[in-house]
Structure 1
Amino acid sequence: MASRVNICQVNILNNPAEFTSKFNLEITFELFEYLPKDLEWELVYVRSGTSSEYDQVLDSALVGPVPEGRHKFVFDAPCPNVAKIPTEDIVGVSVLLLRCKYNEQEFINLGWFVSNEYVDEELKENPPAQPLVDKVFYYCAQKIRKNCSKKFLDSLCNLLFYLIRKVEIDDLRVTTHSIKWIEEEAADEFPEANESVGHFFSFLLFDFRKSYRNFLLLKKL
């Protein structure tokens, strides 16, 4: 059966942002028929292309029951837990997945690749062995004096973070699955929605890494 939900638009409101900032997604979707149960939205941070062990579900939200028509809401989710990411994978390319389920069946996921890069040029050229993701340069606070001008403080605020993330919104990948929207539909008409999710994560991240490398090469030409 055709999908009863159409995701019209997803705007990432704080992009680019500090690595430690929350994700803020403004989601607009349309229902073609009333759904008596909740839609479950889930935001996943994928850092490894070889294992789902390091995938992090940042947050989930239930929306519903939802009447027919167009709807909009803002989905806030925390940044990934750095302690759960391998050190060598913190800086570089990652994947952000927005998944939506109905009645415990995933029917769509949207994927973007995310670049996590240092702001400071020196750190870009000579990245430390232990990635720096703290929000502020703590040593700066010790050097700020009470008589500093507002202009100086404003300029300093632009340097008060190490790592910045950028969601590449122009390279959106969408995968859909057929599901049972009502219990009366025959189960054998529909494949398992989540059957190959792990393989999809791996393929998606590999594909994004390749695309991102090509993107960087083009920028240097």
Structure 2
Amino acid sequence: MQKFKRLPKHVGIIPDGNRRWAQRQGLPKESGYDKGIDPGFALYETCLELGIPEVTFYGFTQDNTKRPAVQKKAFQKACVDAVKRLANHDASLLVIGNTDSPQFPEELLPFTTRRHFGRGLIKINFLVNYGWKWDLDQGIANSANNKNLHQAIASSDISRIDLIVRWGGRRRLSGFLPVQSIYADFYVVDHLWPDFQRDHFYEALKWYQEQDITLGG
């Protein structure tokens, strides 16, 4: 295992490229989502070994549900399978997303309040049927109850992010936790998510060590 002099306390993961990966294999687009589960566990194990205390995975967004029904069913199932599998591991699990929508998988409702498994040494957050407008709208509605907006958003139990790593080569945040990502460093991996290797993440962490972290100061 590699050693680092400074590690982020919270890493955001945008696992993009599943559909493009499937097409390159001559498969239908929806076949790529299931191939993203094992990489997620490899990354979870890496963060656990390194002692990174919190990781947030982008599952799917409300905008993603506009895709063809067969793709929507596939990524919903992949999120359910990933969360249920992780529930058998050492983690403190939370799923954040619009549960009022029929697009939110019912199987994940028990995880919308943080649940601890094993020793709970690492916080794992999944964004499922998440939308940045929905998140902020919840904050506006709740902030009337003598709360500051950032304490009232739907994702308020998720801490500020230090580093966001996006696979798949796209240079955009795609609505990923706008409040928590306000001071995050952003690293792009050009490889597609199903082709994940630990070295991709190690390179991101090496790059992060050299960044000037001022938080505006």
TM-score of the pair, normalised by structure 2: 0.29
Structure number with the bigger relative contact order (C-alpha 8 A, sep ≥ 6) is 2
Report the TM-score, using the length of structure 1 for normalisation: 0.29
> Which of 1 and 2 has greater Rg?
1
Flag the structure with higher helix content: 2
Which has a greater percent of strand? Answer: 1
